[in-house]
Structure 1
Amino acid sequence: MVSDRHRRLDRPLKLAVGPKTATALEKLGPTTTGGLLRYYPRRYGDRGKLTTLRDLGVGEHVTVIAQVAGSSVRAMRNKRGAILTATITDGRDRLTLTFFGKSAGTLSFHERRLRPGITGMFTGTVGEYRGTLQLTHPDYEPFEDLDEEFAAVQKVDWPVPIYPAGASIPSWRIATAVQTVLTAQGPQDVPEPLPAAYREEHGLVGVLQALHWLHEPHSMGDVRRAQDRMKHEEAFVLQTALAQRRAAMRSRPTMARPLRMGGIREAFEARLPFELTAGQREVGAVVADEISEPVPMQRLLQGEVGSGKTVVALRAMLQVVDTGGQAALLAPTEVLAQQHLRTITALLGPLAEAGMLGGAEHATRVTLLTGSLSAPARRKALAAAASGEAGIVIGTHALLSENVQLADLGLVVIDEQHRFGVEQRDALRAKADGTPHLLVMTATPIPRTVAMTSFGDLETSTLSELPAGRAGIETVVVPAGKPAWVERAWQRIREEVDGGGRAYVVCPRITATETEQGEEEMAEDADLLDDLPFTEDLIATGGLPDAAPRASGPPRPPLASVEEVAALLRQVPALDGVTIGEMHGQLPTDAKDAAMAAFASGAAPVLVSTTVIEVGVDVPAATVMVILDADRFGLSQLHQLRGRIGRGTKPGVCLAVTTAQKDSRAMARVQAFAGTTDGFRLAELDLQMRKEGDVLGAAQAGRGSSLRLLSVTKDVEIITAARAGARALVERDPALATEPDLAEVLDASIDEETAEFLQRF
């Protein structure tokens, strides 16, 4: 509940600045006085030096003090509209001011203010028209008396706040409205979410002082100190929300699942055909210790493509099964769920055949639950899960259905965490009597700052070491405009197939008539960002525009589609006699299974597919991948796709075909992809190339909960400090009883939608 002393910040803008100004401001986002105070300047201008009219030069940005000698309004001669021309003088020389409007009426405001005899300060860039110097649409400030003139002269060296404006309200009017609201606030009117001890530790000013420095700075030093303080605030509020979630989850009752000697896990480790990497052993030990405690484990496991996350997760699942519990593995697609079923049952062998002929003495069962199961198969899977017969239940979103019951859910494993939201994660955990342990996995490497920002309620483990025996992958950029290079790509596929290999050909679309972003399995970070005008102003306002104009240049050819490319390859001489398979998300489940089986067996050694094969698909014989329109994918997604090859003992080759221009950002991204197989390095580059707006999401722009100033790519020290401070505060005061202002701001800014969004990065 908002305290009485802060109710002023909830006042509708129309009561503070008038209905007309409020209506214009509300189109930009702010609807209350508090929202207007947090509508920060986009950048800061320079009034230039105070000068006399005689010293003016064309192109200079200047500020002059002069008197209005006269003004007039006339209609334009050759088109609709009106022009206001005013002449100002310093007593010796003259300068023209010019204002354009849709009609004479729209210029009446300036006409009233620029009365002959009025003295004022005028700021703008000097231009020239027919031999006469002029300022076009200058900023100006009329003086009523000498005191105002003296105060204005003092302001000449002050930075000029420039706000994100709109057609109905210019920046200077926004500044006036902000000043009207800001001057009415006292120290007790604006909530202070940063604890006093934290501010003192980091040398931060109070919130009201920071607002004054942001909206009316005397120097750029003021601006920097204010922005630093507000970055700490944004980070601290977010980290407090995540720390509260973490603390609340850790306080819930859970069952300890200690290691048991002589159980299925021990038998599984004895039959592994390979040696665990040092990273797998280290992370596995941490996970085993946490599952052994009566405190819910909450851990994020990120790892390079092929680093062995599934084995780490399976060891944890078997530890729970050994205690009589169950583990549920949630995957985002049926293809990935099916792959997990095949991988896990193959690794377990007879240990997954409890009660079956040939099954091990100590064994369990693994069952699959997806939306496409037949009614009899679904009934059987539901029964196995509800009875506890299946110690491991693998599924897609179908696992979240109300009619899915589990006998004793002890561990939830979420694969490809970024495909799920908080609600889905919690819906699965709610199927347990207590609180199950949680392990979320991602093969999309997450830079440290993003992990702290988006997954602040989880502890993080990283697998970066690849299993022994991997032969590596070479990546080559293939310009689509060079037919000989493209033809060589098809020849390369034939060479690999003749050597017993398999080849993926990846397309962004299913059919030629499909819109560019119409396919459901095209990843959320599919990178069509080269057509967006990234500027400092865009970043400062917090996100991408709703609709950005296309960049100029030659039109791009249509994107490659599975249907067209498969038909084309069947006519390519280099692939004569090679069976070409097709795979995409709209195929029925049995058709997908058949396509993957034919590919794995070599019956159809070339698979033309969408990004549905991006994660989890494991065909060790796959040695070559051709990615068509590679510039239309994000770096992380390209890295995921490439991870489908080179998983056996033979080296892989990835051919990134692109129509991108030589010096474009799109080509720079593809070349960066080709330059390294280090997923964590690519993740850092992805952030640098995509900028803040895309990291945090366009959906955040303009909302009260938006991170307006904090940069997850640059402000690692602030995020680290805020995380430590927020966790310490929540540990000693979970309800924030000692920090009522923080609780108030938190309640107003971190809603459920925002919390879910942040978890989905």
Structure 2
Amino acid sequence: MKEQVVVPADFEAATIPFLERPLSKLLGTRTAAPLAKMGLETAGDLLRHYPRRYAEPGTLTDISELKPGEHVTVMAKISSATIRHMRSRAGAMLNARVSDGVHDLSLTFFAKRQGVLRMHEDKLRPGRVGLFTGTVSDYRGERQLAHPDYVIVGLDADDEDQAIAEAAKPIPMYPATAAVPTWRIERCVATVLGQMHEADVPDPLPDSVRAAHRLDTLFESFRRIHQPDNDDDWRRARRRFRFEEAFIVQAALVRRKAAHASLEATARPLVAGPKTLLSRFDQQLPFALTRGQIQVGHEISSDIGSAHPMQRLLQGDVGSGKTIVALRAMLQVVDAGGQAALLAPTEVLAAQHARSIESMLGELAFGGMLGGAEGATRVVLLTGSMTTAQKRKALLDAASGAAGIVIGTHALLSDNVQFADLGLVVVDEQHRFGVKQRDALRAKGGTVPHLLVMTATPIPRTVAMTVFGDLEVSTLKEIPAGRAPVATHIVPAQNAAWMARTWQRAREEIDKGRRVYVVCSRISPGDDSSDGAETISDDAYGENFGQGTPGALFEDATAPGAENRELASVEVLSEQLRSLDAFRGINISVLHGRMAPADKEATMASFSAGHTDLLVSTTVIEVGIDVPTASVMIIMDADRFGISQLHQLRGRIGRGNLPGVCLLVAPLSDDNTDARVRLEALARTTDGFELAATDLELRHEGDVLGAAQSGRGSTLRLLRVMKDADLIAMAREDAERIIEEDPTLASHERLLVAINSYLDEDTQEFLERS
């Protein structure tokens, strides 16, 4: 008879790497089930669920000195412990009394059944001495600790000294839920740690890197962060885990960058000679380029001249001359025999770019057309609202190569759009496009085209990736001569006098022949859509936003903090403004996304020409609107917008030589809320990177390695991009050395496994395309 092999019940689990083992196997199904609802399903999930903070164990103190709300540790002798049914509701209660020899303290435990409390009753026997830790509360004039943690001398600890030592350790406080309190998570972690051996947790950090920075092993760091003997323990562990996160991410980025550098692109070197488009364009410029524009132009020109694809971010405040820099890069590509495409987020902006570039190029923009100069190129526009005939002609010009510069919206991403030789993709306002959209346009080149993305206000991810070293960044810090400054002020919406002055100031500017914008986040009352606004929801920031009615903008508004505030809308506010004495005889128009393209164009033309004095609009004016006579920007419910969008909106004024004023209207309280911090940052600075850094600190990083930027679901656990910038730079140096020595990480299998585990498939795909 053949001998039967008996396989242990946990054999399958034992063959799985420890950190990947299900908690149901390590803790039991009943204990693991509520943890799974928190997204903690494996040993690794639980051990990477780091304590949010550490509570001080408290000071041994006389019971008479206890104060409600204090977190304390009391050494006392047990006087009594009794269990009884509760009268007012179902369940049982154990009440124990302890004494310091003079004063008494009540300990209270609740449970659905008496049997659950028997364990406590058995340990809390009269005469025993213990250390009791918890938060003091006051019940009917008596001090008590509800559900305290405790150590019984001679039972949980051998003697009083050991008990005190245990009680002196920092207490880990975990992100928890009502169903899974922090103390239960702590016990689950202790159970998992008790089953783990050093061989179970291979360290992703190379020994050389760990030794250079004096970092503990992964095994030791798990113990120190979850069961620290002192504050130094958890601080050492946190530093190790922050560095580990930075190093893994940097290794992935450096490896990706090295792979990207090996891709081939068609070099578009600068063509010398007085008859090139770039030379002729520079000669006809009516002003001198700033030093910043010249320097950045050299950086981009060098990148474009390389046989490897450029990936560069051009950051510069509104009015810093980014378009000129981008146009010169496009002309270099056209001179070298290629084409350039400019992708804009809206039809209004695309049309604005087309008009602006044609105007700057003059006769150089009409190659093969009447009035075109010899050797000129052609600029074409492609948008979704164009007629079939217009689209057909634009498509033909792009596919034949007759158009050296093609400007468009998402319409450029359509399958039927083809290029003869696409050499450069310029993306304006890069935060308005997803990576997949940029990638779709770049795929239209025979080889990978060079990429230049422009922004006036970097989004948090851009700042984060800049810190990580993933983006080559060029910054225009100078503002060309003739640009006027813009002052920004916060206006409390609940202050009737301030609001009256706001409208009066607008009228004064109009009387001087200037234009005024008033921006709302809604078209109609109660709209769910924001017409493209990057509005901040209550849920996203966890704030109590105030209540007000449109009428409250002219009278005393309801106090901040009330619920269900009605946001100002274009339709209602425009009518209210028309009824004000301050705007008697003033031409007021509206602009929003539901209007037909032709109507929007006509409205903007009227505003630009001065036939409209005041424009009540949604955020469709955020980018691409250039009205030099516009000097006032009033943003209603400004607390509902993100920093990036507020900065963009503010950039619509001060575009000529007239000083501008931006008024941020919001019902803010005196509390230092995130909304107030955002608006005060806008009032303090016009530096785009500083504002994005503030945004990053408020939102946290979000998933800087993926598409999400909401501040939730971050790949990063302990690492903070702004606070840990030096540590990230240090990790990058180590990663560059490791990748240079071993590009495929063949000899660093643990690191490769960590990269694949830490950065999931979607994130790695995102990195490959970004």
Q: Same fold (TM over 0.5)?
A: yes
Partner of 1:397: 410
Verify: 1:41 aligned to 2:51, yes or no. yes
* Structure 1 residues 242-278: Cα deviation after superposition (integer angstroms, max 9, x where no partner): 2233222211111110111231111111111221111
Alpha-carbon separation, structure 2, partners of 1:89 and 1:674 = 58
The amino acid of 1:21's aligned partner reads T
CA–CA separation in structure 1 for the residues paired with 2:141 and 2:680: 52
* 1:237-276 alignment runs, 5 A limit: 237-261=248-272, 262-276=275-289
**Are residue 213 (structure 1) and residue 224 (structure 2) matched?**
yes
Q: Quote the sequence identity (%).
A: 54
Q: CA deviation at 1:302?
A: 0.8
Structure 1 residue 42, shift from structure 2 partner: 1.4
Aligned equivalents of 1:163 and 1:680: distance in 2?
33
Matches within 5 A, 1:77-226: 77-88=87-98, 95-102=105-112, 104=114, 107=117, 110-111=120-121, 114=124, 121-127=131-137, 129=139, 133-141=143-151, 145=155, 151-226=162-237
Whether the 8 Å contact between 1:687 and 1:695 is mirrored in structure 2 is: no
Distance in 2, Cα, partners of 1:273 & 1:575: 39
Structure-1 separation of matches of 2:641 and 2:156: 62
Look up the match of 2:732.
Answer: 723
Does residue 428 (structure 1) correspond to residue 417 (structure 2)? The answer is no
Tell me, yes or no, if the aligned pair for 2:488 and 2:664 is still in contact at 8 Å: yes
Counterparts of 1:135 and 1:591, CA distance in 2:
69
| Residues 71 and 4 of structure 1: CA distance in aligned 2, closer, same or farther (over 3 Å) | closer
**Residues 638-647 or 661-670, more deviating:** 661-670
Within 2, Cα distance between the matches of 1:411 and 1:34?
44
The one-letter code sitting in structure 2 at the alignment partner of 1:673 is: L
SS at match of 2:17: helix
Counterpart check, 1:72 vs 2:82: yes
Distance 1:557 1:89 in 2: 53
* Alpha carbons of structure 1 residues 577 and 125: separation in structure 2 relative to 1, 3 Å: closer
Match 2:648 to one of 640, 646, 649: 640
Residue pair 2:593, 2:620 contacting (<8 A) in 1 also? yes
Partner Cα distance (1:708, 1:293) in 2: 38
Task: Judge which range, 721-730 or 442-451, deviates more.
Answer: 442-451
The residue aligned with 1:580 is: 588
Equivalent residue for 1:745?
Answer: 754
Give the Cα separation in 2 of the matches to 1:588 and 1:329. 24
**Aligned with 2:353: secondary structure?**
helix
Shift of 1:187: 2.7
Is the deviation greater in 146-155 or in 400-409? 146-155
In the other structure, the counterpart of 1:375 is 388
Is the CA contact (8 Å cut-off) linking 1:68 and 1:114 kept in structure 2? yes
- Equivalent positions of 1:672-691 (< 5 A) are 672-690=681-699
Q: Per-residue deviation at 1:213?
A: 0.7
- The answer to whether the 8 A contact 1:447-1:680 is kept is no
Q: Residue in 2 aligned with 1:537?
A: none
Q: Is the 8 A contact 2:463 2:693 kept in 1?
A: no
What is the distance in 1 between the residues matched to 2:103 and 2:499? 69
1:735 corresponding residue in structure 2: 744
Pick which of 249-258 and 201-210 moved more.
201-210
CA contact (8 A) 2:424 2:449 kept: yes
After superposition, what is the alpha-carbon deviation per residue over 1:322-344, rounded to whole angstroms, capped at 9, x for unaligned?
Answer: 11111111222222222221221
Alignment map for 1:618-637 (pairs within 5 Å): 618-637=626-645
* Cα 1:726–1:453 shift into 2, 3 Å: farther
- Give the Cα–Cα distance (whole angstroms) in 2 for the partners of residues 334 and 109 of structure 1: 71
- Note the alpha carbon deviations across 1:223-251, whole angstroms, 9 max, x for none: 11111111111112222222233222211
Q: Residues 236, 728 of structure 1: CA spacing in aligned structure 2 closer, same or farther, 3 A cutoff?
A: same
Which one of the candidate residues 619, 641, 652 is aligned to 1:611?
A: 619
Write the deviation string for residues 289-317 of structure 1: whole angstroms up to 9, x where unpaired: 11111121111111111111111111111
The aligned residue for residue 19 of structure 1 is: 29
Q: Which SS does the other structure have where 2:200 is aligned?
A: coil
Q: Does 1:308 align with 2:334?
A: no
Are the aligned partners of 2:312 and 2:472 in contact in 1 as well (CA < 8 Å)?
yes
Residues 20-71 of structure 1: CA deviation (Å, up to 9, x unaligned)? 11111112221111111101011112223457x7787455644356676653
**Separation in 2 of the partners of 1:476 and 1:447?**
24
Cα deviations across residues 103-141 of structure 1 (Å, max 9, x unaligned)?
546646645665678775432244555565532210124
Unmatched runs of 5 consecutive residues or more in structure 1:
535-550
1:716-757 CA-to-partner distances (Å, cap 9, x unmatched) read: 111221233323333443322222112111111213544688
Alignment partner of 1:493 is 2:506: yes
Name the SS of the counterpart of 2:294 in structure 1: helix
Equivalent residues of 1:581, 1:607 under 8 A apart: yes
With over 3 angstroms needed to count, the CA separation of the structure-2 counterparts of 1:421 and 1:186, relative to structure 1, is farther
- The residue matched to 1:587 in structure 2 has which SS? coil
- SS of residue in 2 equivalent to 1:302: strand
Rounded to whole Å, the distance in 2 between the matches of 1:118 and 1:552 is 54
CA distance 1:56–1:669, change in 2 (3 Å): closer
Q: Is 1:410 aligned with 2:423? A: yes
C-alpha deviation, 1:198, in angstroms: 2.3
Bigger mean CA deviation after superposition, 462-471 or 451-460: 451-460
Q: Deviations over 1:534-565 (max 9, x none)?
A: 9xxxxxxxxxxxxxxxx983347421111112
Q: For residue 719 of structure 2, what is the amino acid of its counterpart?
A: L
The CA deviation at 1:426 is 1.9
Match of 1:458 among 448, 465, 471: 471
Query: Which amino acid in the other structure matches residue 377 of structure 2?
Result: T
Higher RCO, 1 vs 2 (CA within 8 Å, ≥6 residues apart)? 1
Give the CA RMSD over aligned residues: 3.3
SS at match of 2:720: coil
User: Which amino acid in structure 1 is aligned with residue 296 of structure 2?
Assistant: V
Aligned counterpart, 1:540: none
Structure 1 residues 62 and 310 mapped into 2: Cα distance closer, same or farther (>3 Å)? Answer: same
2:494 to 481, 484, 489: 481
Residue type at the aligned position of 2:437 = Q
Cα pair distance change 1:469/1:128, threshold 3 Å: closer
Deviation by residue 1:382-408 (Cα, 9 ceiling, x = unmatched): 222222121112222222222222111
Shift of 1:467: 0.6
1:514 matched to 2:524? The reply is: no
Give yes or no for the alignment of 1:560 onto 2:568: yes
Query: Which of 287, 294, 300 is equivalent to 1:281?
Result: 294
Asked whether the 8 Å contact 2:253–2:767 carries over to 1, the reply is: no
Counterpart AA for 1:645: I
TM-superposed deviation, 1:93: 7.9
Distance in 2 between residues matched to 1:125 and 1:495, nearest whole Å? 60
1:388 equivalent among 401, 412, 421: 401
Partner of 1:706: 715
**Which ranges of structure 2 fall in alignment gaps of 5 or more residues?**
1-12, 546-558
Contact 1:454–1:758 (CA under 8 A) maintained in structure 2: no
1:558-611, Cα deviation, whole Å (9 max, x unpaired)? 211111122222233333333222212232322222222222122223221111
8 A Cα contact 1:122 1:138, kept in partner: yes
